[in-house]
Amino acid sequence: MNVVTLWHDRGLLLAFSSAVAVVILGLMLFMSYRLIALGRRKAYRTLLISLGIIAAYHLFQLITALHVWEAPPMALFGGAVMRALAFILLNFAVFELYYKRRPRTRAWLFGLFAIGVTIAVCDVFVGTAGFAKPMADSGLLAPVLDGYMLVLSPLFALMFGPHLLQSRRYVAGLAFAFGGQLALMAGAYWGADSPLYAGAAALLPVGYYILLFMLLFERVVELLQSAYRSSITDGLTNLFNRRFFMGQLDYALRAGKAVGAIFCDIDNFKKLNDTQGHQQADVVLKQVAAILMEETEGIGLAGRYGGEELVAFVSSPDTSSQAVAELIRSRVAKETIVTVSVGHCTAEAGMSGDQLMKRADEAMYHSKRSGKNRVTDYAALAGADDFGLESAASGRRKR
């Protein structure tokens, strides 16, 4: 069977588009189910329900198009109603992928549901002749319900489009849905008996589901990236947490890179906490962290070691840890209300990340006890009479 035959045979065209829609919707259903199983937000339950209803509708269309079952007009009408309600629910579910449902959003949802149900009930009980109309070609029974479906696409584009991160893709998908519904109505009610309209009515909704699948897939990737990012970063400062930082440091050392470690401690941080409160202390901590991130971007990595202890390592052959440490110290003194004591150390062959950070920490402690707001190179302390592990271990926690 060639493409021309498929295009002119409306039953086969409808069967083809319905089969493709069922496959795409099935993939989205699986994605939604897996996210629910992983304990994600309740929005995916709404998405799962709406996708399930729409998938059932297209499966129903596929069965009728292949003449497996000759559906009565009431069944066709019920399918059209469920499709309209599921379309409403689906768009609210897409919105909830980005935002929590609010009372106003809930009111809109129930309001649109009520309008759709009212239209359907009126069409049943106000003596419509739609049930007597052959439905083999159009598949729709209620002109008012069809018009309602046509209005929903631009309405959702205005309601939700400006607020979504994938706004263009979402609005483009709604444009496909609008075009498909318009072509369907043209063939059913306006006498536009043409393969062009029949093809548009069958295939444009498939384009809508493809764009919707792309939107959902990208949103899932965003959420997974966000979850991964939160597992390796500190929630307050956005610096990498200690576990991830040390892992990356060990990796750089094993790769044989020239690595220099920097250990920073905010001076008089406890006093700041006691006199100005935790909120102000958090603001200062985030300011210092931002400076570390900026100064190590592209040449290394910054992390939060614990409390007010912030660390970094530099693995660029063109930049020394000494220069970066001094930049960090001077910027903190100029741009914040605190100062930092800094120590740095250049890695030696065969050294582990823990050993390197311990030396940088010891150098930082020397800066702390010798006046604060200064940078100390661990190499300059080697052999100094007043520097030793025991004195460092006994006194470093008094800072």
Any idea what the CATH number is for the domain that residue 304 is in? 3.30.70.270
Total count of residues recorded for the chain: 399
Single out the residue in 232, 256, 284 at which a domain terminates: 232
* Residues 129-168: tens digit of each pLDDT: 444 443 333 444 578 888 999 999 999 999 999 998 889 9
In a domain, residue 138? The reply is yes
The reported pTM is 0.70
* Pairwise CA distance, residues 307 & 80, whole Å: 60
Give the pLDDT score at 136: 36
- Residue 237 within a domain: no
- Helix extents (H) in 160-296: 167-189, 195-232, 242-254, 269-296
Q: Which of 128 and 11 is assigned the larger pLDDT?
A: 11
C-alpha–C-alpha distance, residues 387 and 370, integer Å: 11
**What is the band of 392 on the pLDDT scale with cuts at 50, 70, 90?**
very low
Claim to verify: residue 196 and residue 250 sit in the same structural domain: no
Helix (DSSP H) and strand (DSSP E) numbers for the chain: 14, 5
- Separation of alpha carbons 122 and 119, rounded Å: 5
Contacts of 282 (CB under 8 A, 6+ apart): 236
CATH code: domain of residue 201: 1.20.1070
Question: What letter does residue 396 receive in the DSSP assignment?
Answer: G
Single residue among 232, 264, 295 that ends a domain in this structure: 232
Q: Is it the case that residue 249 has pLDDT exceeding 70?
A: yes
Mean pLDDT of 362-367: 94
CA torsion angle for 155, 219, 43, 208 (degrees, to 10)? 40
Instruction: Answer yes or no: do 155 and 8 share one domain.
Output: yes
Q: Which of 180, 203, 232 is a domain's end point?
A: 232
**What angle do helix axes 73-96 and 103-125 make, rounded to 10 degrees?**
170
Residues 328 and 212 in one domain: no
Question: Using CA atoms, how far apart are residues 122 and 60, in angstroms rounded to an integer?
Answer: 24
In the chain, what is the straight-line distance between the N-terminal and C-terminal CA atoms, in Å?
A: 82
pLDDT number for residue 146: 87
What is the mean pLDDT of the segment spanning 102-111?
A: 91
For 280-328, what is each residue's pLDDT tens digit?
A: 999 999 999 999 999 999 999 999 999 999 999 999 888 899 999 999 9
Q: What is the pLDDT of residue 196?
A: 80
Given this model, what pLDDT does residue 398 score? 42
Q: Do 355 and 369 contact (CB within 8 A), yes or no?
A: no
Strands in the chain per DSSP E? 260-266, 300-306, 309-314, 340-346, 375-377
- Provide the residue range defining the domain that includes 247: 242-398
Do 267 and 223 lie in one domain? The reply is no
Residues 188 and 121 placed together within one structural domain of the fold: yes
Query: Can you tell me the distance from the alpha carbon of 232 to that of 234, in angstroms, rounded to the nearest whole number?
Result: 7
Whether 330 and 289 share a structural domain: yes
- 279 with 383, same domain: the answer is yes
For residues 222 and 394, which has the higher predicted lDDT (pLDDT)?
Answer: 222
Average pLDDT over residues 196-204: 85
Q: How far apart are CA 97 and CA 219, in angstroms?
A: 8
How many separate domains does the chain show?
Answer: 2
> Which one-letter amino acid corresponds to residue 242?
R
Higher pLDDT, 38 or 157: 157
